Amino acid sequence: MTEIPLTHVLILSSLLFIIGFVGVVVRKNTLFMLMSLEVMLNAVGVAFIGAGSVWQEADGQIMFMLVLTLAAAEIAVGLALLIRMQRRYRTLNIDVLNQMKG
Amino acid sequence: MSLLASLPLYPLLSFLILISFGKRLSWVMASWVSVGAMGAAAFCSMFLVNQLSTSDTSVITAHMWQWFSIGSAKVNVSFYLDALSAVMILVVTGVGFLIHLFAAIYMKSDENFTRFMAYMNLFIVAMLVLVLADNLVLLYLGWEGVGLCSFLLIGFWYQEKSNVLAARKAFIVTRIGDTAMVIGLFLLFKSLASLNIAEINQLAQTTISFTSNSMNAAHSDAYWAALLLLGGAVGKSAQLPLQTWLPDAMAGPTPVSALIHAATMVTAGVYLIARMNGVFLMAPEVMNYVAWLGGITLLIAGVAALAQNDIKRVLAYSTMSQIGYMMLALGAGAWSAGVFHLMTHAFFKALLFLTAGAVILALHHQQDIFKMGGLLKRLPVEATLFLVGLACLIALPGTSGFFSKEAIIASLWSSPTAGPSLWWCAILGALLTSIYSCRLFFLAFLGKARFPENLVISDHIETNKLLRGALFILALLSLFGGLVTVDLSSLFSSYKPSVVSSIDSPSWLHIVAIATPFIGIIFSWFYYRRYRIVTDEPLTASHSAWIVFCRNGLGFDTLYSTLLIKPYCFVAKLNKNDLFDQILMLIAWYVRIWRDILSVSQSGSLRWFAAAFGLSLVGLICVVTL
Amino acid sequence: MMLTFIIFGLLLSGSIAWVTDNKVFAGIKFQAKWVSLLSVLALGSCFLLLVYFSNQNFQQLQLFERVSWISSLNIDYALALDTLSITLIVLTFILAVVCILVSWEEIQEKSGFYYFNLLATFSGVIGVFSAVDMFLFFFFWEVMLIPMTAIIAIWGHENRYFAAIKFFIFTQVSSLLMLVAIIAMAYIHQQQTGVMSFYYQDWLMLDIKIGVAQYLMLGFFIAFAVKLPSVPFHSWLPDAHTQAPTAGSVLLAGILLKTGAYGLIRFVIFLFPQASENFAPIAATLAVISILYGAKMAFAQSDFKRLVAYSSISHMGFVMLAIFSFNEIAYQGAIVTMVAHGLSSAALFSLAGMIYQRIHSRNLNDMGGFWQSAPRMGGFGLAFAAAAFGLPGLANFVGEFLSLVGAFQVFPIMVVFASLGLIGSAIYGMLLFQKTFQGVPLKQVQDLSVREFFICGSLLGLLVVLGFYPNIILGYAFGVFA
Amino acid sequence: MNPVENIVEVTVFTAEMFVVLSPILFLSFGIVLALLLIAWQRSQKMIAVFSQVILVFTLLLSIHLLSGNILSGEGVQITTLLKVDQFSYLSLSLLCLSALAVVSLSGQALKSQIEVHDEYYLLILLVTLGAAILVASDHFASMFLGFELLSISLVGLVGYFREHKYAVEAGFKYLILSATASSFMLLGIAFIYSQTGNLSFAVNSAAMSWSPVPLQLFNSVGILLFFSGIAFKLSLAPFHFWAPDVYEGAPTPITLLMATVSKVAMFTVLIKCCFSQGYYNNEYFIDVIIIVALLSMFVGNTLALKQQNIKRLIAYSSIAHFGYLLIILLISSEQSIDFAWQSALFYLSAYILANISIFTIVLAYEKQLSQNGQERDVRIDDWQSMFWHRRTEAVLLVVSILSLAGIPLTMGFIGKFYLLNQAVISQSWWLVSGLVIGSGIGLAYYLPIIFTVFKPSEKNMLKSHHPKGVLVARPRIFITLLIIISFYLGVFPDSFSQYIM
């Protein structure tokens, strides 16, 4: 199967990354923000795998596994905070969380 | 401690005693201390003068200590007595002693009498230092000391606002003159590298760079130095540009006016020009300016004196015109005539002021001549003394005034730096002098008594023998002072700028000069008939616009206040809280504005923070790559 | 060793005064003011003994101490003295005694801490005058700021905080510029000689290209122009003076302004002769502007202390003009003016303090006719106002005359404008004297007490002695330039 | 650089490496023990004392290693992931010191709640472990691991006190923003990896010069993304938005933890990466550093101007301080690396010392406020006339504020002097003027604090407003110790720098 050039992989991951980022910025519901965080991390994973395959090294894949564990840990803590927010503010809308100013 | 060095010590000692003991001294003690010190100074100066005449080198010097040194030139506190300063110390201590005597009686009722006598003594010290100084810096010390004492004495009754303002005006106007003089000193040091008076006079003639115009400068250093010294003299002697302070200085007690504003301080300017003749001779144009200045002040003061209704202001304007004469003489190069007139003027002007003081005291501080009248009968002694003074002022033949004024007028016509036009000025001035003197005499002493009947006139001169003696001595001096021929010509270098051929003076000169005073008297006899005859219709000062204009010094006051004082105050008030401060506070305000903008960016909304993260990243990439 | 003992002795006695304030030890009731007065007198006299007995030729810098401090950057603790710094240190000690005497009754609460700050400022100032290692100089330069700001901020008048902050920021930012210049100089020294050094003597041997020297000189100049308030950077002085307590203003005007002038002489003229020569016309115009601007602003003020503050700006303008005319005579004039201005402005501020204690206001409109009820204070007021406008016979005249005569050789036109400042000083001097002491008496004011009479008397005595016999300073300091 | 060669290399784990790694190993072993301790017996005092013991031991170990000459010169490379030299161990000891301070100070703050807080201490130990790994890392992977361990345990700590009104908000803000930042960093690492093919710091990235321009673009963008991730953690200017809110929302000991441990670790790893990768001669990178530094100096100082809440003020001032610190990255040449490390570490220690002392006082006042029944943050005007009631605390506060402002007699000044030295030598005049103007503006908010401390107390302020003692067992000694250290190092910095030599 023909060799996929590196730039395509990187551009794909950047696009995926930007989609995730826009998701974080635009979405109002906290759950979907966490989800778009996941998208961003997976985009990074794609980039790592692509780079690893170019250099014929396992580093890319190892890094991707580390990224996966990171994503899992983050989401766990994120969901815990989500539950606390639901109990405290009765809503998941992120804009409730802007009391601190100045 | 030579005698000359001790001369200023006597009044200085009495000043220190009076100041330190102040209120505790009784009137008798205080007057004894101050008048005694003046007597000692007078006696000491007389002794010095005849010691001078007997000594061969015609100069006595006394070196105290070295004040400081400017580069190589030594500036030391040392005195230098020659014929010119001999005349001056005689005048200062002699007339000063008599005035102190009068002041002791005149100011008897004042509660801080000791402070007054202390200031008078301090003034004499400063004047002596000025006159005896052998270098210009010590002269400047005396000069400023005299200015400060005149400030203190004019503002002696500092409770009234007018006296305070008059004192401040006197000090600041003279200070402007002093600053010009200081700049002159700097220039002299720069070009002649010495501030010792004798050296300067001698060097001025020899150093070429001083007298010739350097390549691009319009005038030579000598021109500028002389002009600046003239500025100082004009400030102190109340001549044309800076003469507005003298009439207001009459706010001080009468002995002050007599001592400072007649006999001594105002003549300091004349002394300076006479002393620095070496420099002035090197700048003929400046001598011409001096002459013209003297002439114009002469006329202005004469005209102003005509319109005054306060006896002391008339005398003040007459002093101003007489100094104009002296300036005229110096400008014309007749140095000894100028100094001679200075001496005689000191005598009769002091006499006039003191008698005026006695009259004012008699009428319980009434100074307006339109409120006096008919005093010849009530105060005969003051009247005669006043008449003697006026006679000398008008320069009737035989009086000392006649000798000195004739000497000046005679030298005007043929002097290179003055000329016929100035001669006519002098003659017109003499005419004006006689007219306003007669007007003053008629208003004050002849005509109907215009003061309230019940006024009890306390004639001090009758009651106090000492005072009468002093005034008689002064009268004698002013009458026969002229006979004392003081030849100072040896002192002034005979260098005559031969640039202009001296036109020979026509023969009718003397006749006109002698006749003018009589013409003046006859004219005023008829013109002021209303003032001198006893009529019962009321007599008040006329308030026509022209007369009022002359009364307050031909509008110079309003001119200066609109040109200088108001703009200065306006600019000061305008920028009251410091333009530079505003600019720097602007920076602080700018930072605070930025703080408010940035604190809006801290809106606290999480989505904005994330967006800001991305935005700033994109921003950074663009900025870096561009 | 002795010099360090004096500097840290002051600091130590300050802390003793603070700790033992109105406590009783071994039966004696310790008062902060007595402790500080005695320690200042003791340390002052042992400084004089140090100078007298070391009989080195003080025309050049005589090194007293040199100990390595921060070895990584080759910074060492080096102190040295020459006639200029000795004259100024003696002036500091005189004004130290005046400061303590002036705040004798004025400071009642927290006086222990007050005297600590006062003595700490003195030790900082003496450090500044004697430091020869540039980093140590900068260290002392900043150290003397902290207690001074504390004095203004804690014992000052109504809006003291604003004045203290303004004073601190002005000096701090400008001295940071100086720090940059110092580091750049050390770096150049490293480039030229291989080792980085902050020692003043080594820097004198450096030859720096005119382009670089220009900026370095500017870095130093701005720091000292802020401290010696020349016009564009002067606006901290009036605020700091009006809000500081009397001793604070005496300290500020008497000594801190002199550190600016000292810095100009030592670290701008000597260190960058060529660059400052080219910069001289600009500096001279700045000086003339500050003379005239100071005089004009003083005339417009209605607050006693603010007027005297602006007059100090005008006087220090004379000093700067004299320094930048590179003339031997003007240089002597600058030294005499510094000492004379130190004494006369200290006197005027103590007078302001005495008046403030009596009528609790500094506004000239509430004053008037004090001569009536307080003749002696009036006499001294007249003498000090006369000193302010340079009456001959007092020390200021000698200083101003020498500076202007010297400067006239180099900048004739500028000196003519500067002499307009003499008229300006006469105007505000008269205004100050007449508004307070002459005119209709509004209030009855109690005359000078013995202590106050002693302060005014000694200051006036010094001014008159220096006025008539300035060779005490000139003879001593002469030849510094050669 | 063909990739095949480096597989063969066998990494042997020698005894010397073991000794060198002992502090980190001891710390992780300590955490495991702590877990077992909780399982055995749950008592708050026990876990607090235990974590203090672990931290003290790690500190002693690292100081022992520092003073010994084991870590001479270049430092010991342990597998490709970690490389330890005396600089990293100095920052490790700084980390342990501040963690120790946090643990001992937070004993008081926890008393107010009911249940046992053993996981609080565990999380703090995990944060210190993450920081230790960061400090020692020499490979992107180990850096990533340390980074994540640090941030996620911090998230847990930030939202620890459930009842506080801002806890959830701060927690969420920190979580989401640090997650975005770490993903940006990872993307950067991925881009760099794709270009250089090597994730370790040691290999100089000069190799990339041969790749064609578009790929080189990826590398520079990669470096920038990587730097943005770190800049977020250091709360440098364009990425600083989270800091004030999270500092205010988090419990005070945790704010101290964030301000000291996480920042010091991040900055050390940034320096290690930049110096070893040789980023300082990549002119893109230098422009970014200059822009970010100037921005953070200006933004940090300006925003702090009219700030009344102490914790927010500390956040803004830390933005400014790390803006100043960025000057270190602009070294001009190879041999000035040692001097750059020395000035950076000196400045960091001054910053840490100042922050610890300020927070001790903030915590004392917070405890006093909660006793007086006011549940709010400490404001500046709570400290009015502290000097006349609690003199030693006031002196400590004044000294630490002066040290932050960079006034002589304090460590901060010598730190700033080193920085200025660095800036002048590298002739980056923009940063020099930024430093001067920044410290000028900085004075405008530091001085009012000092003046409020000296203000005379109004009538209504009752004496009890000022706390009796500080939370540590013997408060007086602890505070006087802090004062003496900051004065001593301020006047005699040599004693500190010979440690670094």
Is the confidence at residue D376, as pLDDT, over 50?
Answer: yes
Residues of chain D with C-beta less than 8 angstroms from the C-beta of C69? 492, 494
What was the pLDDT predicted at D112?
59
Same domain for B526 and B447, yes or no, is yes
Distances (CA, A) of D452 to D385, D394, D396, D456: 7, 11, 14, 8
pLDDT digits over B335-364, tens only?
A: 888 888 888 888 888 889 888 888 888 888
User: Residues C333, C403: contact at Cβ < 8 Å?
Assistant: yes
pLDDT digits over D156-204, tens only?
A: 999 888 778 888 889 999 999 999 999 999 999 999 888 887 888 876 5
For every residue of B87-149, DSSP letters joined together read: HHHHHHHHHHHHHHHHHHHHTTT-TTHHHHHHHHHHHHHHHHHHHHBSBHHHHHHHHHHHHHH
Report the percentage of chain C scoring pLDDT > 90: 59
* Residue B235 domain-assigned (yes or no): no
Taking residues C52-59, report their average pLDDT: 81
CATH class in words for A28-91: mainly alpha
If phi > 0 it is left, if psi is from -120 to 50 it is alpha, else beta; for residue D75 that is left
Taking residues B252-256, report their average pLDDT: 88
Same domain for B362 and B423, yes or no, is yes
Nearest Cα to C441, choosing from C359, C362, C386?
C359
Domain count, chain B: 2
SS3 assignment, position D160: coil
**CB-CB under 8 Å, C177 with D420:** no
pLDDT digits over B43-53, tens only?
A: 999 888 888 88
pLDDT digits over D104-119, tens only?
A: 888 776 765 566 778 8
What was the pLDDT predicted at B500?
45
* Residue B261 domain-assigned (yes or no): no
Domain limits, chain C: 273-482
Is the confidence at residue A45, as pLDDT, over 80?
Answer: yes
Measured between CA atoms, how close is B589 to chain A, in angstroms? 19
D76, containing H or E segment: strand D76-78
Is the confidence at residue C480, as pLDDT, over 50?
Answer: no
What was the pLDDT predicted at D215?
65
Residues 233-252 (D) with a CB less than 8 A from some CB of B:
238-239, 241-242, 244-245
Interface mutation vs chain B, best among A25, A39, A85, most B CBs within 10 Å: A25
pLDDT digits over C336-373, tens only?
A: 999 999 999 999 999 999 999 998 888 988 888 888 88
- Confidence band of B308 (pLDDT split at 50, 70, 90): confident
User: Residues D481, D487: contact at Cβ < 8 Å?
Assistant: no
Checking B116-120 for CB contacts under 8 A at 24+ apart, the result is: B116/B153, B116/B156, B116/B253, B117/B14, B117/B18, B117/B30, B117/B31, B117/B33, B117/B34, B118/B14, B118/B15, B118/B18, B118/B19, B118/B34, B119/B149, B119/B152, B119/B153, B119/B156, B120/B34, B120/B153, B120/B255, B120/B256, B120/B259
Residues 582-601 (B) with a CB less than 8 A from some CB of A:
599
pLDDT digits over C126-164, tens only?
A: 999 999 999 999 999 988 999 999 999 999 888 889 999
> Chains C, B in contact: 3+ Cβ pairs under 8 A?
yes
**CB-CB under 8 Å, B179 with C423:** yes
**pLDDT, chain C, mean:** 90
Is the confidence at residue A7, as pLDDT, over 50?
Answer: yes
Is the confidence at residue B137, as pLDDT, over 80?
Answer: yes
Taking residues C281-305, report their average pLDDT: 92
Same domain for B342 and B465, yes or no, is yes
List the domain range (segments joined by +) for residue B510. 310-494+505-541
**CB-CB under 8 Å, D421 with C139:** no
What burial letters (b/e) apply to C241-280, b meaning 16+ CB within 10 Å?
bbbbbbbbbbbbbbbbbbbbbbbbbbbbbbbbeebbeebb
Nearest Cα to C70, choosing from D339, D264, B435?
D339
Taking residues B116-144, report their average pLDDT: 92
**CB-CB under 8 Å, D444 with C165:** yes
pLDDT digits over B363-411, tens only?
A: 888 888 888 877 888 888 888 888 888 888 888 887 888 888 888 888 8
* Residue B108 domain-assigned (yes or no): no
**CB contacts < 8 Å between B and D, how many?**
73
Chain A touched by D175 (CB under 8 Å): yes
Query: What does the block give as tokens for B532?
Result: 């001198």
User: Residues B15, B122: contact at Cβ < 8 Å?
Assistant: yes
* Residue B93 domain-assigned (yes or no): no
Same domain for B383 and B509, yes or no, is yes
CB-nearest partner of C430 from B158, B168, B179:
B168
**pLDDT, chain B, mean:** 85
User: How remote is the C-alpha of C329 from its chain's centroid?
Assistant: 21
**CB-CB under 8 Å, B605 with A98:** yes
Distances (CA, A) of A69 to A38, D133, D148: 11, 17, 10
* Residue B396 domain-assigned (yes or no): yes
Is the confidence at residue D206, as pLDDT, over 70?
Answer: no
Taking residues C394-414, report their average pLDDT: 92
pLDDT digits over B413-437, tens only?
A: 877 777 788 888 888 999 999 999 9
What percent of the residues of chain B are helix, what percent strand, and what percent coil, each to the nearest 5? 75, 5, 20
Calpha distance D219→D215 (Å, rounded): 7
Calpha distance B403→B51 (Å, rounded): 27
Is the confidence at residue D473, as pLDDT, over 70?
Answer: no
Is the confidence at residue C51, as pLDDT, over 70?
Answer: yes
C29, containing H or E segment: strand C28-30
Calpha distance C403→C337 (Å, rounded): 8
What was the pLDDT predicted at D214?
61
**pLDDT, chain D, mean:** 85
User: Residues D212, A31: contact at Cβ < 8 Å?
Assistant: no
Handedness of CA D189, D193, D196, D199 (dihedral sign): positive
- Give the strand pairing for C62-70 and C75-81: antiparallel
Is the confidence at residue C412, as pLDDT, over 50?
Answer: yes
Chain B touched by D380 (CB under 8 Å): no
Last residue of a domain, one of B483, B515, B541: B541
Calpha distance D397→D393 (Å, rounded): 6
* Residue B349 domain-assigned (yes or no): yes
What was the pLDDT predicted at D207?
46
What was the pLDDT predicted at B499?
44
pLDDT digits over B478-526, tens only?
A: 888 777 766 666 666 555 544 444 566 677 778 888 888 888 888 888 8
What was the pLDDT predicted at B491?
63
Chains near B with 3+ CB pairs less than 8 A apart are A, C, D
| D137: Cβ contacts below 8 Å, ≥ 6 apart | D81, D82, D83, D143, D145, D146, D201, D269, D272
**CB contacts < 8 Å between A and D, how many?**
126
What was the pLDDT predicted at D263?
93
Checking B493-499 for CB contacts under 8 A at 24+ apart, the result is: B493/B201, B493/B205, B493/B277, B493/B278, B493/B281, B495/B205, B495/B281, B496/B333, B496/B416, B497/B281, B497/B284, B497/B416, B497/B417, B498/B416, B499/B284, B499/B416
Is the confidence at residue D268, as pLDDT, over 80?
Answer: yes
* Residue B110 domain-assigned (yes or no): no
What was the pLDDT predicted at C240?
92
Q: Which residue has the higher pLDDT, C368 or C226?
A: C226
What was the pLDDT predicted at C481?
39
pLDDT digits over D294-348, tens only?
A: 999 999 999 998 888 999 999 999 999 999 999 988 877 777 888 888 889 999 9
pLDDT digits over D333-364, tens only?
A: 777 888 888 889 999 999 999 999 999 889 88
Which DSSP letter does residue B355 get?
A: H
> Chains C, A in contact: 3+ Cβ pairs under 8 A?
no
SS3 assignment, position B264: coil
Q: How many residues does chain C have?
A: 482
What was the pLDDT predicted at C482?
33
**CB-CB under 8 Å, B602 with A98:** no
CB-nearest partner of D451 from C135, C161, C173:
C161
pLDDT digits over D47-103, tens only?
A: 889 999 999 999 999 888 888 766 666 777 877 788 888 888 889 999 999 999 999
Same domain for B416 and B330, yes or no, is yes
Q: Which residue has the higher pLDDT, C251 or D367?
A: C251
